[in-house]
């Protein structure tokens, strides 16, 4: 019954809305363009790079060490005793497991931090859009989920200008 009342109210508002819709100021912001071109994204990526560069280099060094040990074992396998060869194989396998664990931790930590930075960026973009909408007296601004918008309604460039000014 509630749904029928809501649908009825919506239909009634649609009958009246063409007169009001002509007076509405509507804008659209292209989310992917703003996310890709905002200077805040570049700064966030730089922060992540700086934060994770030491761990990344450490993982690269560990990978080189494991490969070097594997190559050495392959070269020396014919002259090594069976026990010594098996001991080196076990050490290499343990090192590979440790490397895999460290890589997984690195990927997970990087993903978490990237998501945190993305959330901050999206919040800043939303605040900027709201500021612009209030300043320019927009009645409605659409941000995500827009299939088409004319250039007249597109506020993406204005939002990017404001983000670059921050």
Q: Please, which residues have CB within 8 angstroms of residue 166's CB and are 6 or more apart in sequence? A: 40, 124, 128
Question: Which among 162, 62, 30, 52 is positioned nearest to 117, based on CA atoms?
Answer: 52
Q: What pairing do the DSSP bridges indicate for beta strands 26-28 and 140-142? A: parallel
- Residue 137 gets the label, from left (phi > 0), alpha (psi -120 to 50) or beta, of left
Instruction: Render pLDDT for 38-96 as a digit per residue (tens, 0 to 9).
Output: 999 999 999 999 999 999 999 999 999 999 999 998 998 888 888 998 999 999 999 99
**Tokens linked to 143:** 């941000």
Task: Say whether pLDDT at 157 is over 60.
Answer: yes
The three-state secondary structure class of 66 is helix
pLDDT of residue 22: 59
What is the predicted pLDDT for the residue at 48? 95
Q: Give the C-alpha separation, 56 to 106, whole Å.
A: 8
Residue 121 predicted with pLDDT over 50: yes
The CATH superfamily assigned to 23-165 is Skp domain (3.30.910.20)
* pLDDT tier at 160, thresholds 50, 70, 90: confident
More confident residue, 149 or 139: 139
Q: What is the per-residue pLDDT across 19-44, written as a single tens digit (0 to 9) for each?
A: 455 578 888 888 888 989 999 999 99
């Amino acid at each position: 019954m509630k749904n029928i009342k809501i649908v009825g109210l919506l239909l009634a508002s649609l009958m009246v809305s063409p007169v009001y819709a002509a007076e509405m100021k509507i804008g659209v912001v292209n989310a992917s363009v703003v996310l890709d071109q905002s200077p805040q994204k570049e700064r966030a990526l730089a922060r992540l790079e700086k934060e994770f560069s030491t761990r990344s280099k450490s993982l690269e060094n560990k990978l080189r060490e494991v490969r070097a040990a594997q190559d050495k074992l392959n070269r020396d396998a014919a002259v090594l005793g069976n026990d010594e060869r098996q001991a080196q194989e076990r050490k290499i396998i343990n090192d590979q497991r440790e490397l895999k664990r460290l890589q997984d931790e690195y990927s997970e930590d990087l993903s978490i931090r990237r998501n945190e930075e993305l959330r901050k960026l999206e919040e800043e973009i939303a605040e900027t859009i709201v500021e612009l909408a209030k300043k320019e007296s927009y009645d409605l601004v659409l941000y995500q989920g827009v299939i088409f918008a004319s250039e007249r309604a597109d506020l993406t460039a204005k939002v990017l200008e404001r983000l670059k000014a921050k």
